Structure formats: C-alpha cells, structure tokens
Amino acid sequence: MRRGLAHWFDRRGWSDLIISVPYLWLSFFFLVPFLIVLAMSVATKSPTAPPFSFGGDYPLVNLEGYARLVSDGLYLRAFLTSVWNAGVATVFCLLLGYPMALALTRVSRSWRNILLMLVILPFWTSFLLRVYAWMGLMGKSSWFNVLLTDLWNGAVPVAWAVKSLPMMHSNFAVILVMVYTYLPFMILPLYASLERLDPTLDEAALDLGSRPWQVFLDVTLPQSLPGLIAGGLLVFIPAAGELVIPTLVGDSAAPMIGRVISDEFSSARDWPMASAVAVALLVLMVVPTMIYTRYQAKSEGAK
Amino acid sequence: MAEPAPDSAFLRIEGVSKTFGTFQAVRDVTLSVQRGEIFSLLGGSGCGKTTLLRMLAGFETPSAGRIFLDGRDMAGVPPWSRPVHMMFQSYALFPHMSVEQNIGYGLKHETMTKAERAGRVRDMLDLVQLSPLALRKPHQISGGQRQRVALARALARQPKLLLLDEPLAALDKKLREQTQFELMSIQQRTGVTFIVVTHDQEEAMTLSDRIAVMDRGEVRQVGSPTEIYEYPASRFVASFIGSITSMEATINGRSAEGRMDLNVPALGGVVQVRDMPSFADGQGVTLALRPEKLQISKDRPPGPNAIAGLVKDLAYFGKDSLYRIALPSGALVQVHAVNLRRGDEASRVADWDDQVWLSFDPTSAIVLGD
C-alpha cells in the first residue's frame, strides 16, 4: 500500500497537487458557499438567529421563496430592470470599446503601452470614489449639469426649457456609470483578440478587391468574435448583479436585482427569499456563460 | 485618361524609388516586363524586392518614379482597384472561411451571377486539384495544399498581373520541386503575367523567363537565367548566382588570335581566356571560374590552361562530387565533377591529398571589370 502511494506520487504527485489547487479553491470559496445559499433558499424564515430554520410547518424543503419569485411582480421587474440596464451598458461598452481596442492595435508600440496604461489607470482610484465623482458631476448644480442644461435649452423650443437636467437617481445614471466602470473589461479582451490577428489578412482582403470597411466586416469582425463575447460577458454578468452603482445613483423605485437581494438580507431579514433570488440570478447568468464556453470550445477545437 | 507608356511593355517600372525615413529601400529601378512572362526579382533579404512588389500591389506608394500596367499609370490607384493580385508568403488565407469561400472571396466584387461565381470557384479548384477539399478550413489542410488555395484565390478574379512573394519558401524540398513545375504549367494555361519575389536562386532559375538580380535597392542585372549565370555583369551577380571562385588578375596582352592573356598570381602564372576588346592591356580584372567549368585529371592535360594542385577536400554526392583543390599559391579552387563511371572509392578521379591537374576552356572563364 505504501509502496503504491509512493509510486503514485513519483509518477504524477506534483502535477496532481498543482492541478488540484484551483479545484480546491473553487470548492471552498464557490461550491460550498453556493450549496449553503442553495440550502438557505429552501429553508423557512424564522425569528431566530440566524433567521431561518428547517422543518416546522413545512417539511425540510420550503419552496415558498421560489413561488414568490414568479408571483410577486417586484422580483420579475427587478430582473427585467437588471437585464435591461446591463444589456444597454454592454452595448454601449461595445460601441465605445471596439474602436478603442482596434485603435490600440494600430498605434506604435510605445504609444500602445501608454494608452493601455490609461485604460487601466482608473482602477488605481477607489471605485467608490469614482462613483461619488459621477454623483457630483450629475448633481443639479454641478458645472457638468449646468453645461448640459444650457446646451439642451439652446437646442429645444423655450417651452421645453428646464432648470436642470434630472440625471441623478435614474436608470440613465446607472447605465452611464456602469459603462464608465466596465469599459476596461470590454476593451482588454477585445484588444487581446484583435492584437493576435494577422495584418496580412487585411492586406489580402484589400488586394482581392475589398474596401477598408468591407475588410473590417469580412475579416476583422468575425475573427474578433471570441474577444467580443468574452468582453460582453465580463461586462454583462457583473453589471446585471451590480449593487453599489444602482444604490448610489439609481432610481430606488425601480431597483435592480442586486439591491433586492441586499434588502431581503438586511432590512427584511428574509434570508431564504434573498437566497432564492440569488440562486435565480446565478442560473440566469450561468446560461449565457455556458453558451460562450461551448462556443469557445468549438472554436478552440477548430484551431 | 493616363498617357500611354512610352514603350509597349505590359508592365513598366520607371525610375521607381522608395524611402522609409532615412532608409532607401528601392533606388531608381527601371524594368519592363512582357505580357505572359514569369519575371523574378531575386536578391537577399533587405534588397528591396518585397518593397518593389508591395508598390506593384499598391500597399506602398513610390517616393519617386511611375508604374504603368498595360498602359495605365497606377499612381493613386488603391490596392482594391488594381487588376493585380498577390500570393502572400504566409498565404494569408482567411482562417474563418472554407477553402471554397477563400477562393471565391474576391469574386463577390465582380458582377456575375451566383451560378457563374460557383462555376469559377469550381474551375479554380480543378486548376489546383483541390476539389475534394472545398469545404475544409485552412487549418485542416497541409502546407502544400494551402499554397495552392492561395494561388487559386489570387487567380480567381483573372488578374492581369499575379505577384508571388516567396511562393515556395514555406514548402519542404521535395514539394518545392514538384510545385515549381505546377506553377509553371498553371502560368502557361492561364497566361497571366507572374512577378515572383525570391531569395532562392535555384527557384528563380527554374521558374523564370527573366530574372532581375537586386542588391541594396538597386537592380544589378536583368536577363534570362542563362545570361545571368553564364554572363554575369558584375562580381556581385557572379557570386550571388551559383558558386564561383574569383581571383585577382591583370591583362598581360593578346598573344593569340581571339585570346587574351591574364596574369593570375593565385593560379601561379598566365592563363588564356576569350578576348574581350573592352579591356585594355595592363588593366586589373577579376577572373571567375564556375566549379563545373573546370576539369580535373591525374595527368597534365594538353592546352594552355593547366594548373597543378592538391586535393584538399572532397564531397561525394552520388551523381557528382565537389573537390576543393589547394594550389601552390595557397588559393582554393572549387571543382565540380560528374561521376560518369560506376565504381568504388579506388576508381575515383582523385582522392584526398592526390596530386591533380585542373584545366578549363578559354571561353568558359568569366572576366569581370568590377
């Protein structure tokens, strides 16, 4: 037996140990907590500490939380608001990020390093501080708001004139700050996939009669799809579950799903309901990720 | 309407130069290429041949000079409007498209029906014998097949001029020889004018009707493969094409009709070569001898140009052997001998450290002024 163990270790001990590190990490910090949340989601709310219990009026499994997800319009609306806000933010990140990523691949190497640094630079400042900066900018009396208000009043008939633009506490503010926050997560994977493309392919397409915009559609865009999808997921998934931005700048009458989970946990002290929402959100996010993974596996297999 | 080119050549390059910053990649190149020719630009890396090719494709703009194709001035014509297609060294096949889609890519800019387009793609697939692989992706086929897809894609729109950038460089030796003949036969069948850029002199010799030898941005000599090999115009061309032994020499006078005497210290005396009136008595020249133009024998051969030496090195290739002969002056001369007779080592003309005689015909020697 000991000889067998030593034999196994000699043969593949180190590689197995090293490979097991990420699996262990994921098990302890993702799988186990998730199972706890899953268990909580089928528990019953109770005035104990922690505020849930199993058994009682219900058998071990209480699906009331999941039932309320469907029956109570609040949750469905919150899901839709989240998906809409995250979706719009993703589209804007894409529209802004694609040209920036493409430009990064076309400038000289020294400029590229400087510009890449500028893309990452905002991360050096506290995220909360940057959101507060936006709150200041969007506030009614800020120079930014005054400037936009003047532009608006100059462009529209007098009857539509406003004293200031109501930017704060709206979905617009949420989307604006999310685009600002998540833009680097779109640019970096796009840049990584665009940077790998062979520039002679562009020349080949030009040579065969395509104008530059056709070359982009026929050659560049299809080959950057993996980066585009990766960037899209990196923006969409955290944006859909975003808590801080909607809490600080969002419309409290139309909360996003992250806010709902937070409220259920804290003020409502309904942990089973909060867990049910969290599980539903996870399932919602896992589906697009699985589609992406399958797509990537297919294109990797094709290489 | 652009003015017609001054002569009837199909492609005319007139005094073209290209400067990148302070580096002059191409210097005042003037060339004309006839319709249906296979014309090679031959030179080492950095000689400007690829820059010249990219100017023909429209990827670079000449700093000076003009290019006429079929009488039309190509200045300001973008790559996508030129009737010129290129086969890239890396082939540059679109990885996300099948073989068929790659070949048909340029055809979407032609006004033709779907059926005509499909027919053309089929013809091209037949031409390069790839019909069974039409639906494969580039990464699912071999290097040689990829090369043929690139060729078919470049030919599909029936260009006036096909540019081939090192067409055979990525293939292994066996495949290269076979592909060479295939390229020539495809060129004959389609009649398209080919411009080939290569650093491989053998490739240029076998493929081309004419070769332009380039060095540091300049064209050093233009001619048929035979002209370039047998009558090089300079020491550079002589040593770039094939192997050669060059020696300093002085013209000693003209002792016989049609002959010129050269004093060659490396050969230890005077040899006779064919008279070339452009050289004056007493002028310093270079005598260059191709290894296969020298004969090797055990006994002193009759005739004027016989030199004694010692076999220093011997390389046996089967069909032929290469000898390096050390002369009393210390010079080394390369001699190429075909192994005409079958036999073992003992039956060779010469072995290591044998005393041998070298000789050459006076008309076979190359005399160069520079």
For B43-63, the pLDDT digits (tens) are 998 899 999 999 999 999 999
pLDDT at B43: 93
Q: Which of residues 31-90 of B touch A (CB under 8 A)?
A: 57-59, 78-81, 84-86, 88, 90
- Are B137 and A302 inside 8 Å of each other by CB? yes
The residues, ordered by sequence, that sit 6+ positions from B196 with a Cβ below 8 Å of its Cβ are B38, B39, B40, B41, B164, B167, B203, B204, B207, B208
Considering only CB atoms, B92 lies closest to which of A198, A223, A302, namely A198
- Inform me whether the C-beta atom of residue A262 falls under 8 Å from chain B C-beta atoms: no
- What is the SS3 assignment for B114? helix
- Inform me whether the C-beta atom of residue B105 falls under 8 Å from chain A C-beta atoms: yes
Longest dimension (CA), chain A: 91
Question: Tens of pLDDT along B186-243?
Answer: 899 889 999 999 999 888 998 999 999 999 999 999 999 999 999 999 999 998 888 8
- Are B94 and A201 inside 8 Å of each other by CB? yes
Considering only CB atoms, B88 lies closest to which of A204, A218, A302, namely A204
> Which of A193, A203, A206, A207 would you mutate first to test chain B, the one with the most B CBs within 10 A?
A207
Q: Give me A197's structure tokens.
A: 């493309």
Question: Tens of pLDDT along B13-26?
Answer: 999 999 999 999 99
Give residue A1's pLDDT band: very low, low, confident or very high (50, 70, 90).
low
For chain B, give the percent of residues with pLDDT over 70: 97
The lowest-confidence range among B4-13, B52-61, B338-347 is B4-13
As a residue count, chain B comes to 370
> Which of A196, A208, A298 would you mutate first to test chain B, the one with the most B CBs within 10 A?
A208
Nearest residue in B to A302, CA atom: B139
Rounded Cα distance between B75 and B5, Å, is 13
Which residues in chain B are contacts of A204 at CB distance < 8 A? Answer: 86, 88, 92-94
B86 vs chain A: nearest CA distance in angstroms?
7
Residue B78 corresponds to which amino acid?
Answer: P
Burial tier of A249 (Cβ tally within 10 Å: 0-12, 13-18, 19+): buried
Considering only CB atoms, B92 lies closest to which of A203, A210, A222, namely A203
CA distances from B104 to B114, B123, B141, B363 (A): 11, 11, 18, 54
pLDDT at B343: 76
Question: Tens of pLDDT along B278-314?
Answer: 888 888 999 999 999 999 888 888 888 889 999 999 8
- Are A218 and B88 inside 8 Å of each other by CB? no
Considering only CB atoms, A208 lies closest to which of B85, B137, B139, namely B85
H helices present in B208-315, as ranges: 225-230, 235-240
Question: Which position has the token pair 């580096």?
Answer: B23
Rounded Cα distance between B73 and B85, Å, is 17
Burial tier of B317 (Cβ tally within 10 Å: 0-12, 13-18, 19+): exposed
Neighbours of B76 (CB within 10 A): 9
| Residue A250 DSSP symbol | S
Rounded Cα distance between B349 and B188, Å, is 43
The mean predicted confidence, pLDDT, of chain B is: 90
Rounded Cα distance between A138 and A131, Å, is 11
In 3D space, the residue among B199, B244, B187 whose CA is nearest the CA of residue B360 turns out to be B244
Residue pair A239/A178 in contact (Cβ under 8 Å)? The answer is: yes
pLDDT at A50: 80
In 3D space, the residue among B210, B166, B158, B211 whose CA is nearest the CA of residue B186 turns out to be B158
Question: Tens of pLDDT along A32-80?
Answer: 999 999 999 988 888 777 888 877 666 777 888 898 988 988 899 999 9
Burial tier of A71 (Cβ tally within 10 Å: 0-12, 13-18, 19+): exposed
Burial annotation B150-169 (CB, 10 A radius, 16+ → b, else e):
bbbbbbbbebbbbbbbbbbe
- Are B109 and A209 inside 8 Å of each other by CB? yes
Q: Give me A145's structure tokens.
A: 């708001």
- Are B94 and A204 inside 8 Å of each other by CB? yes
What is the DSSP code string of A104-124?
A: HHHS-HHHHHHHHHHHHGGGG
Nearest residue in B to A222, CA atom: B96
Q: Give me B243's structure tokens.
A: 């192997």
Strands (E), chain A: 44-45, 52-53
pLDDT at A299: 67
Longest dimension (CA), chain B: 76
Task: Please tell me whether the peptide bond between B62 and the residue prior to it is cis, using omega within 30 degrees of 0.
Answer: no
**Domains in chain A, please, with CATH?**
38-71+270-303 (no CATH), 85-267 (1.10.3720.10)
What is the CA A141 to chain-centroid distance, rounded?
31
Is the C-alpha dihedral spanning B292, B294, B298, B301 positive or negative?
positive
Rounded Cα distance between B166 and B161, Å, is 16
Question: Tens of pLDDT along A142-192?
Answer: 999 899 899 988 888 888 888 888 888 989 999 999 999 999 999 999 999
ipTM: 0.83
**Domains in chain B, please, with CATH?**
11-240 (3.40.50.300), 245-368 (2.40.50.140)
Considering only CB atoms, A204 lies closest to which of B92, B96, B109, namely B92
- Are B106 and A208 inside 8 Å of each other by CB? yes
Q: Give me B299's structure tokens.
A: 């006994």
Q: Give me B211's structure tokens.
A: 């070769």
Residue pair A272/A52 in contact (Cβ under 8 Å)? The answer is: yes
